[in-house]
Each structure stands twice: as structure tokens, then as C-alpha cells.
Amino acid sequence: MNINIRIATPDDAEALSKIYAYYVENTAVSFETVPPSGAEFAKRIEKTLKRYPYLVAEVNGEAVGYCYLSQLGERAAYAWCAETSIYVRSDCRRGRIGGQLYTAVERIAVRQGITDLWARVAAPRGTDNYLNDGSMYFHERVGYELKARLEYNGNKFGHWYDMLYLHKNLLPHLDSPAPIIPFAELERTL
């Protein structure tokens, strides 16, 4: 399978919102309960691209997944950390798409000066029809380490879910790190 990774645009919103809607409507992977419209998705893409990368994976010109970074916390001292989000079309999982998206987004994060990436992953509290540990295993395979489990963080479909925090260090922790370069100011190459 030939996978093309590129920077998302607001024109991708309809296709990406359909990928995401599956997870909102059928799983506890996302804690949203109503899928955002294509217009809302376009706004999210535009907002993200000002500061962080937002990438799309395509196979034969069709969007099959996406990945982006976002602000970990609102305070200034969080600037060198970012949160990851990734969604792969439900019929395309286990096709190396997620790994290629993360490789590309991590390369960009390093160019920006981001030292650490964090993934928040929903986790079931036992056997569950809406969620398994697949996201946790994926993140561990691509080098993330489980750092915390927050219990009873969300209720969806009448079930309680925990939240896992997984971490990956990208750059050394300097006492006086350089300011983060916003994605909008980077040369747009992958």
C-alpha cells in the first residue's frame, strides 16, 4: 500500500469528519458524543495549523487517516510539550498508516523545538463493547511509555472509562530552551 502523507487543509474537513464520526458514534475512543460538522472540522483544522501540524494520510488520493498536535496546557510553561491525536479510517487500521503519520508529525515537532509529546488514550475498565486497549498498544509500539492512569474520567454509552497518559521524549530538556516555532512559520515540508 502506497501511503502519501501531506499537510491538511480546510478542504479536507468533510473527509476527515467522516473518519472521526465513526469513532464518536461507535466507540469510546473519543469522548465527544456528537460528531462535529464538516464546517466545524474546517475551523479546527485552520486553528491547529497556526501553531501545530495537522497531517492527512492518503491512499490512492483518498483520505484514510489524520494526525495533529495540540496544546497540552494553557499556561506558558507547557509550550515545549504537545498532545497528539490520531484517527485512521476504521477499515484501514493495522496498515502502518498510524505509524507513518506519527513519524511525520514527530519530525515536524522536533523542527518546532517541541521536547515532549503526550497522548491521552481512553481505556476500558474491563471487557467492553465500545473500547479495547488497541490505542495503548499502538502508542507503546511507536515508542510512547505509559505514565499515568486516571480512573473514571469519562462516561459514554453508560460505561465509565479511564484515561491513560502516554509520553514520548523527542529532544533534550535544556534549562533555557529556545522558543517554539509555530507551524505556520515553518517551511511546509514533511
Report the chain's terminal Cα–Cα distance, integer Å.
19
What mean pLDDT is predicted for residues 81-105? 93
User: In the predicted model, what is the mean pLDDT of residues 68-97?
Assistant: 93
Amino acid letter at 24?
A: V
Q: Identify the pLDDT of residue 58.
A: 96
Is residue 72 pLDDT above 90, yes or no?
A: yes
The C-alpha cell of 30 is what?
473519543
Q: Has residue 92 got a pLDDT over 90?
A: no
Please determine, for residue 94, whether its predicted confidence score (pLDDT) is greater than 80.
no
- pLDDT confidence of residue 151: 97
Q: For 110-169, write each residue's pLDDT tens digit.
A: 999 999 999 999 999 989 999 999 999 999 999 999 999 999 999 999 999 999 999 999
Class of domain 3-175: alpha beta
Which sequence spans correspond to the domains of the chain?
3-175
Q: Please give, one letter per residue, the 3-state secondary structure of the chain.
A: CCEEEEECCHHHHHHHHHHHHHHHHHCCCCCCCCCCCHHHHHHHHHHHHHHCCEEEEEECCEEEEEEEEEECCCCHHHCCEEEEEEEECHHHCCCCHHHHHHHHHHHHHHHHCCCEEEEEEEEECCCCCCCCCHHHHHHHHCCCEEEEEEEEEEEECCEEEEEEEEEEECCCCCCCCCCCCCHHHCCCCC
Greatest mean pLDDT among 13-17, 71-75, 186-190: 13-17
Percent of the chain exceeding pLDDT 90 equals 92
**pLDDT-based confidence at 62, cuts 50/70/90?**
very high
Question: Which residue, 76, 23, 32, 81, is CA-closest to 52?
Answer: 81
If you average pLDDT over every residue of the chain, what do you get?
95
Split at pLDDT 50, 70, 90, the class of 188 is confident
Model pLDDT, residue 187: 79
Q: CB neighbours of 94 closer than 8 A, spacing ≥ 6? A: none
